[in-house]
Structure 1
Amino acid sequence: MESLSHKKKVVVMIALMTSMFFAAINQTLVGTAMPRIIATLGGMEYYSWVITIYMLTSTVATVLVGKLSDIYGRKPFLLSGIVIFMIGAFLTGLSSTIFEMITYRGIQGLGAGILMSCTSMAVGDLFAPRERAKWTGLMMAIFGFSSIIGPTLGGVMIDHMDWQWVFWAFLPLGVIAFVMIWRIFPKTAKVQSESIDYLGSLLLSLSLVSLLIGFSWAGTKYAWGSIEIVGLFAAAIVFAILFVMVERKAKSPVMPLSLFKNKIVVNTSLSGFLMNAGMMGAMIYLPFFVQGVKGLSPTESGFVNMPMSIMMIVLSSLTGRWISKSGKYKRYAISGIAFMVVGMLMMVVMDSIAMALASMCVFGIGIGLAMPVFTLAAQNSVPLDQLGVVTATSTLFRNLGGTIGIAVFGSVMNGVLTRNMEQAMAAGQGPDLSKIDPAQAEQLGTLMNPQILLNQPKLAEIEASLPEQLQQGFLQLMDMLRSVLSDTVSMVFMLGAGLLALGLILTLFLKEIPLRTAHKGAEKQVGSTQEAEA
């Protein structure tokens, strides 16, 4: 697609950015609204699964579509990704139980994985790395813009509309994105000499699914040392070994093992993994502090997220331009993750909404600086014919980090929450139920679950319905639950800061090579770089 005129490329980019915005706005709408939705449907213990299944299916789709789109072109996968995402979003709005929502979110994640990864690959097809940096920054800005209006709009919708509209409201935008891609995006000829690595794709998918389900169930549904969890991890290892054996002999491997001889690809993949693990795993629980501990509504919670998104938009756009101008990218990765570590540490000690806002600003600066770097650096280090698989690999590790991070943090959240509740009750922080009428004590006992803090209207309704003699005990119980929840999310944020710190250390060793200014000569430049590394 390099032969397209610049004007045509800009038009294609508008279509791609519309598609990305469609997927991103749907995802950011959900974040603020999900605590209220879970409180409505029930099943707080499955909260992390709603997020995890989305990440799991999008991860599998991402890695599979990389090689396939190298063979068949990006356009059919962009279109199919939009359609699958729309179907999943529509069905999710029809959910009547938490288990239905988990299933339909899995379908939505499949479409998101195809759509988001193909969008990144298409940008790589259109532009050489030096110019690509600028457009990558703009794509991140689009995602950031959705992060500004998404949480706030999601909060407004969940406060004033049925929760189903969180998933349905932007479906017309999906239709617009589909028509734009169908009409504007250029077709590419199929690579006739390439074959599809069905067996490798199957083994990789089985390994990823076993691994991610193992992390999701460990510490929640089953103990970490249980036969179920050990069996899942063992299956993941066995499938991974078989996958490596198949890939070594495959004519057209779904994930060429030669990629992992490239030090830049390895470093950016691991750094992206740690960054997303720390970021996604911890950030998903921010609404628990804002809505649960501080009692803000989902709408107000959306405003708390806004500074992060604004900083992300500004810095990602500027970072793309700075990288495009200088050809240097390592400094932005290092400084970005450093800001993220500081922001996460601020979340650990935050005790007010003002502190939450400040931490969001710092964290947003870090995201804006670091996020455009890793895929760009990986793409720049390989030949053009490996653009799809290296983009998919980079995205795979980021998604794995986010998925495993969410699962691990969910396990930590549930375990620490239970322990803190037991300790608070043992220390006498809650009401003394032995001094209350047994029937009334039982009534208060049913409220000993921090989940009730996430639905403020329901909480106010319960408080108004209680007899006067229970009001003091109720207030004491709520104070205890807020304290327990605050201590628990602080532990989650501390773990996130630790993972981000590991990512920062790894990024210090990232080898930087100049960004290419044209697609031509890419193989020669990359080859000489790899020889120099060896």
Structure 2
Amino acid sequence: MEHLSHKRKLTIMIAIMAAMFFSAINQTIVGTALPRIIAKLGGMDYYTWVVTIYMLTSTIATILVGKLSDIYGRKPFILTGIVFFMIGAFLCGFSTDIFQLIIYRGIQGIGAGIIMATAFTAVGDLFAPRERGKWTGVMTAVFGFSSVIGPALGGYIVDHMEWHWVFWIFLPLGIVAFFMILTLFPKVDRKESESIDYFGSLFLTLTIVPLLLAFSWAGTKYDWGSQQIILLFVWAAVALAIFLFIQTKVKSPVLPLTLFKNGIVTISNIIGFIMNAGMMGALIYLPFFVQGVMGVSPTYSGYVTMPMSIAMVLTSAIVGQLISKKGKYKRFALIGLPIMFAGMIIMCYMHSIWMAVVSMIVFGLGLGMGMPVFSLTIQNAVPHKELGVVTASMQLFRNLGGTIGIAVMGTIMSSTLASNLKEAAASGKGVDVSKLDPQMAEQLSAFHNPQLLLDQPKLAEIQSSMPAEMQSIFTQMVDMLRDALSSSLSTVFFDGAMFLLVALILTFFLKEIPLRTSNRMPGSDASGQAGEGDQASNAQKALVEQPAK
């Protein structure tokens, strides 16, 4: 598609960004609303599953679609992704319990994975690596813009409307995005010589599912050393071994192992995995601090997170232009990751709304600077014919990192919260309900559950219904819960910061090669196809010798 006119490329990018914005806004609008939705539906113990299932299904969809889109083209898959996402969002609004919400979020995740994999790959089809910098910055800004308006809008909806509208309000935008892609996006003929790796796809799925289930259930539903968790890890290991064997035998593997002979691809994916594990695992609990500890309503909770999104939008747009102009990218990752680390360290010690806002601004600046870099590094290091599968590998590692990070941080959150509540009771900060009269004890026993902190109207209603002699005890119980929750969140944010520190150290080992000004690899023929023996590793060597333009 590189041969298309500039005007046609712009119209296609508008369609792609409309689809991306539809997916992104539906994700960010849920963030601040989710604690209140969980409080309404019940099922605090399954809170992380609402996010985990979304990440799990999107991860599987991303990697399977990557190779298929290289064969059939991007258009049919991005359309399919929009349809899946709309169906999932529509059904989410009809959920009557936490388990239905989890299932329907899984359907949404399938659509999101397809949309993201094909959208980022399509940019690679349209533009040479040197031009992709500014468009990657623009696409990151689309995510940022959705993060600006999404949280505040989600909070406003659950405060003033039925929570169902969180999932329904942007469905018309999905219809618009669908028809824009249908009419504007060019169709690509299937590559007849390519075959589909069905068995590889099956065993990759059989690897990912038990692995993510093990990390999600360990420490919460089952002990880490329990038979169930060990069996899941064994299952994942066996499926992985079979998958790797299949990839060495089939003609057109779903995830070519030759990609990982390229050091740039391997280290970029590892950094993406670790960075997302720390970032997603920690940031999912930010609404818990704002709403649960500080007692801010969901509407104003969205305003607290808004500065992060604004900082990310501005920084990513500027950095994208600078990358395209200079052709250099590593320096931005080396600056951005320390700033992200600093922002998360501030979160560890925040005890007020203004400190939360400062941490969000700092983190957003680092995120906008560092995040766009790693998709450029891997797309620039492989031939164009592998663009879809290498982009899918990036999304795979990022999603795996985010999902495992959320699961691990959820375990840390649950265990530290239980420990902090136990210590508070032992130290006399809590209230010993056994020494109260039975009726009063029954009313106060419910306040050992931090879920109540996330539903301020219900909390105020219960407090107003209590007799005067119980008001001081009630206040003491709520303060004890908030202190325990705050301490647990500090531990989660600190662990997230350590993940980012590891990602920063690995970035120093990332080899930088000049961004190409064409989609053709050095040594390719006139059609842009790599010549015989032109493997990714050889391409990398050639690019190192190619001077920056």
TM range (shorter): over 0.9
Match of 1:381 in 2: 381
Q: Deviations over 1:443-491 (max 9, x none)?
A: 1112211110000000000000111111110000011000000000000
In 1, Cα distance between equivalents of 2:390 and 2:117: 11
Match of 1:459 in 2: 459
Q: CA deviation at 1:531?
A: 4.3
Q: Deviations over 1:312-334 (max 9, x none)?
A: 00011011101000110001111
* Contact kept in structure 2, 1:204 and 1:243, CA below 8 Å: yes
Match of 2:286 in 1: 286
* Contact kept in structure 2, 1:136 and 1:372, CA below 8 Å: yes
Indicate the SS of the match to 1:446. helix
Q: CA deviation at 1:529?
A: 4.4
Match of 1:223 in 2: 223
In 2, Cα distance between equivalents of 1:288 and 1:153: 18
Match of 1:370 in 2: 370
In 2, Cα distance between equivalents of 1:101 and 1:54: 11
Q: CA deviation at 1:435?
A: 4.3
* Contact kept in structure 1, 2:24 and 2:143, CA below 8 Å: yes
Match of 2:300 in 1: 300
Q: CA deviation at 1:434?
A: 4.4
In 2, Cα distance between equivalents of 1:414 and 1:361: 28
In 2, Cα distance between equivalents of 1:363 and 1:421: 30
Match of 1:179 in 2: 179
Match of 1:496 in 2: 496
Q: Report matched runs for 1:303-314 at 5 Å.
A: 303-314=303-314
Match of 1:44 in 2: 44
Q: How many residues align?
A: 534
Match of 2:17 in 1: 17
Match of 2:264 in 1: 264
* Contact kept in structure 2, 1:81 and 1:110, CA below 8 Å: yes
Match of 2:82 in 1: 82
Letter paired with 1:385: K
TM-score normalized with structure 2 length? 0.96
Inter-CA distance 216–523: structure 2 relative to 1 (3 Å threshold):
farther
Inter-CA distance 523–352: structure 2 relative to 1 (3 Å threshold):
farther
In 2, Cα distance between equivalents of 1:472 and 1:204: 56
TM-score normalized with structure 1 length? 0.99
Indicate the SS of the match to 2:448. coil
Letter paired with 2:273: F
* Contact kept in structure 2, 1:516 and 1:522, CA below 8 Å: no
* Contact kept in structure 1, 2:220 and 2:414, CA below 8 Å: yes
Please state if 1:94 is matched with 2:94.
Answer: yes
In 2, Cα distance between equivalents of 1:522 and 1:364: 37
Inter-CA distance 280–527: structure 2 relative to 1 (3 Å threshold):
closer
Match of 2:336 in 1: 336
* Contact kept in structure 1, 2:63 and 2:392, CA below 8 Å: yes
Q: CA deviation at 1:388?
A: 0.4
In 1, Cα distance between equivalents of 2:435 and 2:98: 37
Indicate the SS of the match to 1:12. helix
In 1, Cα distance between equivalents of 2:522 and 2:102: 43
Indicate the SS of the match to 2:389. helix
Indicate the SS of the match to 1:447. helix
Please state if 1:191 is matched with 2:158.
Answer: no
Q: Deviations over 1:225-274 (max 9, x none)?
A: 00100110111111111000000011000000000100000110000011
Q: CA deviation at 1:527?
A: 5.5
Match of 1:104 in 2: 104
Match of 1:147 in 2: 147
**Gap runs ≥5 in structure 2:** 525-533, 545-549
Letter paired with 2:253: P
Q: CA deviation at 1:121?
A: 0.5
Indicate the SS of the match to 1:512. coil
Please state if 1:416 is matched with 2:416.
Answer: yes
Letter paired with 1:252: S
In 1, Cα distance between equivalents of 2:117 and 2:109: 12
Q: Deviations over 1:176-221 (max 9, x none)?
A: 0000000000000100000000000000011001100110010111
In 2, Cα distance between equivalents of 1:213 and 1:309: 31
Q: Deviations over 1:46-97 (max 9, x none)?
A: 0000000000000000000000000000000010000000000000111001
CA RMSD of aligned residues (A): 1.2
In 2, Cα distance between equivalents of 1:298 and 1:163: 12
**Gap runs ≥5 in structure 1:** none
Match of 1:485 in 2: 485
Q: Deviations over 1:105-143 (max 9, x none)?
A: 000000000011100000000000000111110000011
* Contact kept in structure 2, 1:138 and 1:317, CA below 8 Å: yes
Letter paired with 1:241: A
Match of 1:433 in 2: 433
Letter paired with 2:255: M
In 1, Cα distance between equivalents of 2:264 and 2:435: 65
In 1, Cα distance between equivalents of 2:144 and 2:265: 25
* Contact kept in structure 1, 2:212 and 2:403, CA below 8 Å: yes
Q: CA deviation at 1:520?
A: 2.6
In 2, Cα distance between equivalents of 1:472 and 1:530: 68
Please state if 1:201 is matched with 2:201.
Answer: yes
In 1, Cα distance between equivalents of 2:183 and 2:517: 29
- Runs of 4+ displaced beyond 6 Å: none
Q: Deviations over 1:268-301 (max 9, x none)?
A: 0000011111110000000110000000000110
Match of 2:528 in 1: none
Letter paired with 1:405: G
Match of 2:59 in 1: 59
Q: Deviations over 1:7-62 (max 9, x none)?
A: 00000000000000000000000000000000000000000000000000000000
Match of 1:347 in 2: 347
Q: CA deviation at 1:432?
A: 3.8
Letter paired with 2:346: M
Match of 2:68 in 1: 68
In 1, Cα distance between equivalents of 2:540 and 2:503: 23
Letter paired with 1:488: S
